[in-house]
Chains A and B, each alone.
Chain A
């Protein structure tokens, strides 16, 4: 979780604890397990026309990011290379909280997601994926004759 393998910072630990407590109180977790605290953190929003997915994934090369939509399941995968130098006699790593390594996050989209209407952009370390909803599923007013 956020790469806190070497816990040093009490506040960071409290933050992690709070997240775990939140997870524990989530009474209906998804079948894909405890998503919270994973990398990248995700926010999902929806409008009548689209589903908007935001992935908070700083410091990546957009060319290495893989975004796939398969049978209504959206996955975001990639790898984040560690930036830290190997500790030697002259350097010391004091805090190491940032995530590094391979990641994959998967979310299920609603049934009306259109696999042909997906666009994704990466800016300021934020992935924004927009999935359009199918035309026939758009709300329509039905005329009464």
Chain B
């Protein structure tokens, strides 16, 4: 009995945290990585970006002005939250991440650490 209760509780917690996965584009150039994420309906103050260890989390809450007493009649976007987690690699410098949010598109720039900037390796003829 108590076991079933625990399971229900876990399911409830999972549902509370349920989020949509925003589509992203990721491009790498010699000096860093640029990430674009589609977060329509997320205002600046509801966007949460954090780096913990080597994982980068993008989280945003959709804020929609709905008239009182509105009933949904057709729904494609069913959750009010976006979340996506990426694992950074060690040549990236998470302390220098810059972010812009414009009309629901997040643009993140993660530069590579100075020591990881490209260098041409000379091959010496032996």
Contacts and interface: CB of A to CB of B under 8 A. Distances in A.
Interface stretch (A50-58, A67-75, A133-141): A50-58
Contacts of B71: 45-47
B28 A58 contact: no
How many chain A residues sit at the interface, stated as a range, is 35 or more
Given A56-B40, A98-B24, A128 B65 contact: yes
Interface string B71-86: 1111111000000000
A12 B20 CA distance: 10
B41 A52 contact: no
A122 B114 CA distance: 41
A90 B64 contact: no
B69 A47 contact: yes
Interface residues of B, number: 37
Contact of A91 (B28, B68, B75): B28
B108 interface: no
A101 interface: no
B113 interface: no
Interface of B: 21, 23-30, 33, 36, 38-43, 62-77, 102-105
Given A36-B76, A59-B102, A93-B27, 6 more contacts: A4-B23, A54-B41, A58-B40, A95-B24, A125-B40, A126-B104
